[in-house]
Chain A
């Protein structure tokens, strides 16, 4: 099972809108990106899941982070470009569901206004 906290967008002129949590039954081997897109969640996988962008960036619940095999250099290089990077960030296309990860919770990073150009490393 995979729980996803969907994106909460903080609007400057309104109070923050918290995302809702959705839970899905999933199959072993499905990547988090596959699952998100199959269920209509707000996750772009611009490069189609080939580790060539960071649009499927998710924040993994710290309790589950260590259960996922470590990211390789390529994934780390792409993660470095993700906005709102955290200690437990991963690319959704590189994390596949397994029995070890049953019950894993991930959050979609919130996008905020007033992001400045320097926040984007191109």
Chain B
């Protein structure tokens, strides 16, 4: 078998003769390749005489034979690697790999294409046919015929128009040039923005209109759709078609780029912008009502914010019958009044404008609330829905400033010198972290069309200490307050002018006239693009990476995006783009809660939780019965059977004893987003409160970290706790283990024998009585101590534990024998008969506490790459953890986290965020 029948093998049958003949016919065919491969893989070997000297054993011959063997094996490894059978498309780095590149040489980069074609021919790979051939299906044939007929019609129309123009007297060429190239002849009308009403999304081109009936595309949709997994066509997210995650594997790359080197960016145009206009006093009252109630916003500390030099970010909330209810996180910034404007001290007369940026899932709630508040004021304020007017790009990572600097060129013409903020922005060269800037810094200026300087180039990196000192001085000084001008983005006309960018063709023609490589100067037809840059910090520390948010008119996002993704970075590569999953990942790695998933007490969070439940339910039901978690048969130890509550949900109904949602309500499609925008506002206003009444999850309220800290420090029962109060916490698993969404959070069981403590009185009635009373008596009495033993001693390297009975490799034979003898002769370590499994512990892990000690649920969780251990974001019931934390601040913050459907819990520590 091993020596393949060679070409001269006489024993070969007729079949192999045929093959041989075929091989000879196609000299470059498969047979030759195979022979070559076979030859390369054969290892030369010596016969027996080589190791003998005159038929006798000999040391020299022995050594020589083995040396020959070494050489020949090394040679063989090298040749077989060199003639390796890797195909051209396999040699590509991951970023350049494309689908079906094995069958289509055109998907391979040009430098490898000829090789790919050759290999495909050699291997007789079935390759794709050109799509330009005849249409094969009836539908395609009809479509092709219609297209042909339409083309003829269009041609006829064009000829007719030309003839008419000739008759009018003008030369046909000039009309053609004007009418077609820069699009100047047909002015796009200014978008209609209605006050206090919702606006329509921009009308998409006819080609794409049918696909956007019940959703809107981002400005970069087509770009993303080729490179990312989008939301399913029938299931848009927040009425947008959003990129969920790039096609490439990016989990680890995103972790690296967002913190270490490079930059990650998102098209965040789905974030909604709301404009609020009116007198300053009225605006202040309205804002106070929706949650901007911190005193330092309105006293002298907030002067810079009110001037329009800083932005504010925080939670918005609204007054309901059950008290204040959180709506969503938001950032708010004012439009500065011109500095030369004579100061008007009467704040009721001063007309001001401001933008709110909110998440689309909470947009309607905030908008309706704002409209209501605005109408209550006299003189009335008014609200504008600027969702499709202002788009944005988020960019984070050490190279984010560098990327922005190379793409955003301030607009300056002799008539219109660049703004002060533009100069300040350009002086930020060398900044690696936007959170080093003053908190919530904000810049507004106009940029030129980024296509004029396409492709973007690396900015010169600053060198020397002088440059660094200058940068530090700029950051410390931050001279934004002198000579402020209103931001162009607030100006509707400026936004509209910016949306009339010249066509790509026109720019290409202009470029062909100048020297290659030089950049174009903005001309008369190039409008300035007003932008606003917001620098935000993640958390309060200046060490973690901050994020830049670039706001620009909706239709200018695409050219900026194209330039940004092709921007070369000094750390190598280009900025990466991320999808929705990556926003979540980045927030998680920075230890932040992500809206809406980690805010279960907001309406948007409830909606998200409901949707997640449905998704998990579907995924669970889809699996075969033998492969899905059987919740009833989960053995939690000590005779406790079954999952606590619904295993597919963060079961707040169980935790707070809320009534379950009516089945009928759940069955009906949760949201009917048919033409939400086209509906009248009146119907909207009535819709959400009705829904809120129905869903029991809306009864959960949230308390902030500050309130919680006050509650701890104040003695018992001075301030009443809101009903069903929840607290968002960050959980760090102390030893091994990771937890996922829906994991159960338990407090540590109380030390004495389970007598009903004060907190146990609030155990909801939905827990069956037998589960709360009988097994708890069977739990080991020292369960708390068992869990406390699990705290790892410390992170210092003195972890030399004495391991006695372990046989180590270094022991000599005598010691080993003695150890084995001792093990065999000694008394058995476990009593006989052994106890039944899962009664005192679960495979060495302590039992999880009882259902009465359930305090909350994990909303996001996994292994955290930045911390190197399991982390999670969750929410806990305040009334259950408060007594423990008051008693002992350190031990009260310990908890046990157990994944849904598993019986092993992990010790963890939580902290409020």
Instruction: Tell me whether A and B are bound partners.
Output: no
Which A residues form the contact surface with B (CB < 8 A)? none
Which B residues form the contact surface with A (CB < 8 A)? none
